[in-house]
């Protein structure tokens, strides 16, 4: 039986683990609702992690590191946008190429920092609330990235469902030809959506290297970008379902760290594979339930305006 202190620590670690996934998948959700399938999330995350860490290490400022990570994610997303949106190349191939490019750039930038460490982002503790049993540390003892991810979630949910800009973005994702006929700049809107996705992926990388594990290691994203892509499908392209999915997958990833401590004797290799097994199981279940019908009709289809 877990005591309150241990349970609270486990719940707090689940929230921290889920934040990286939530940030990255939020950006991808917006890009996909605009009709653009960006498989470069992993590359943008790892570039954000490397640039954010290098900047924070060189300047001593975590804020500058986070800003640099966001800008790095946006810059790499523009490479994808030029290829997939403006040159109308295959989006899958362009996204994979972007990931490969990002991994190479991150390895180059991060190589001087292997073995170094930073003081991670501080926890925003609130006297009297953080010390509450079980939920105190989970709700009131997290770093700024956690609360920013929830604010972004609320903003995306409201923007997509309650604003004219969100309506136009969804129209572009559903029927770009009709949106173009109504005078909306389809390629410009898709580019902005991809840039938002790059910014969120870069911020997710910054959370990873500046808060969750404040050091640099090659390929430290460890496939989280691919899980973020799966989360968008899991959520049926709905922000609130995305929150549930991110915290579910965060719990699975944390579970692998705690199971052996309970003396269950589960092989460590199986535990390391748990997040990816959960991804496959979730996608199979979604396919069986046909929840994937929420996909935008124009997702992954290049758009070339009439001249």
Q: Is residue 301 part of a domain?
A: no
Q: Which domain holds residue 114?
A: 4-294
Asked if residue 229 is part of any domain, the answer here is yes
pLDDT recorded at residue 7: 79
Task: Indicate whether 233 belongs to any domain.
Answer: yes
Residue 162 belongs to some domain of the structure? yes
**pLDDT of 126:** 79
Per the domain annotation, does 192 fall within a domain? yes
20 assigned to some structural domain: yes
| Confidence at residue 123, expressed as pLDDT on a 0 to 100 scale | 86
The whole-number pLDDT of residue 62 equals 96
Contacts of 11 (CB under 8 A, 6+ apart): 134, 135, 137, 138
In a domain, 87, yes or no: yes
pLDDT at 1: 46
CATH of the domain at 154: 1.10.3470
Which pLDDT score, from 0 to 100, does residue 290 have?
59
Q: What is the pTM for the complete model shown?
A: 0.92
HEC-encoded secondary structure of the chain: CCCHHHHHHHHHHHHHHHHHHHHHHHHHHHHHHCCCCCCCHHHHHHHHHHHHHHHHHHHCCHHHHHHHHHHHHHHHHHHHHHHHHHCCCCHHHHHHHHHHHHHHHHHHHHHHHECCECCCCCCCCCCCCCCCCCHHHHHHCCCHHHHHHHHHHHHHHHHHHHCHHHHHHHHHHHCHHHHHHCCCCHHHHHHHHHHHHHHHHHHHHHHHHHHHCCEECCCCCCCHHHHHHHHHHHCCCCHHHHHHHHHHHHHHHHHHHHCHHHCCCCCHHHHHHHHHHHHHHHHHHHHHHCHHHHCCCCCCCCCCCCC
User: Tens-digit pLDDT profile for the chain (307 aa)?
Assistant: 456 777 788 888 899 999 999 999 999 999 999 999 999 999 999 999 999 999 999 999 999 999 999 999 999 999 999 999 999 999 999 999 999 999 999 999 999 999 899 998 988 887 777 878 878 888 888 999 999 999 999 999 999 999 999 999 999 999 999 999 999 999 999 999 999 999 999 999 999 999 999 999 888 998 899 999 999 998 889 999 999 889 988 888 887 776 666 666 667 667 677 777 877 777 777 666 655 567 899 999 899 887 5
Total domains in the fold of the chain? 1
Domain membership of residue 130 (yes or no) is yes
């Amino acid at each position: 039986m877990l005591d309150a202190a241990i349970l609270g620590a486990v719940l707090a670690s689940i929230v921290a683990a889920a934040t990286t996934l939530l940030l990255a998948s939020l950006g991808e959700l917006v890009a996909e609702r605009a009709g653009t399938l960006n498989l470069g999330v992993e590359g943008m995350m790892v570039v954000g992690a490397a640039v954010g860490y290098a900047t924070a290490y060189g300047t001593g400022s975590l804020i500058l590191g986070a800003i640099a990570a966001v800008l790095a994610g946006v810059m790499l997303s523009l490479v994808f946008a030029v290829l997939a949106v403006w040159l109308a190349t295959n989006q899958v191939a362009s996204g994979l190429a972007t990931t490969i490019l990002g991994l190479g750039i991150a390895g180059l930038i991060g190589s001087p920092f292997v073995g170094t460490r930073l003081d991670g982002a501080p926890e925003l503790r609130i006297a009297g609330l953080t010390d509450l049993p079980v939920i105190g540390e989970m709700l009131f003892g997290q770093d700024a990235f956690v609360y920013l991810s929830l604010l972004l979630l609320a903003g995306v949910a409201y923007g997509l469902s309650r604003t004219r800009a969100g309506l136009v973005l969804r129209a572009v994702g559903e029927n770009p030809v009709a949106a173009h006929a109504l005078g909306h700049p389809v390629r410009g809107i898709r580019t902005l959506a991809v840039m938002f996705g790059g910014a969120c992926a870069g911020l997710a990388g910054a959370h990873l290297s500046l808060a969750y594990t404040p050091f640099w290691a090659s390929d430290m994203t460890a496939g989280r970008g691919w899980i973020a892509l799966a989360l968008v499908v899991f959520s049926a392209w709905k922000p609130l379902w995305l929150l549930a999915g991110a915290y579910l997958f965060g719990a699975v990833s944390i579970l692998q760290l705690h199971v052996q401590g309970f003396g269950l004797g589960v092989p460590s290799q199986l535990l390391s594979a748990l997040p990816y097994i959960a991804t496959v199981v979730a996608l199979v279940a979604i396919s069986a339930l046909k929840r994937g019908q929420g996909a935008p009709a124009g997702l992954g289809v290049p758009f070339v305006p009439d001249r």
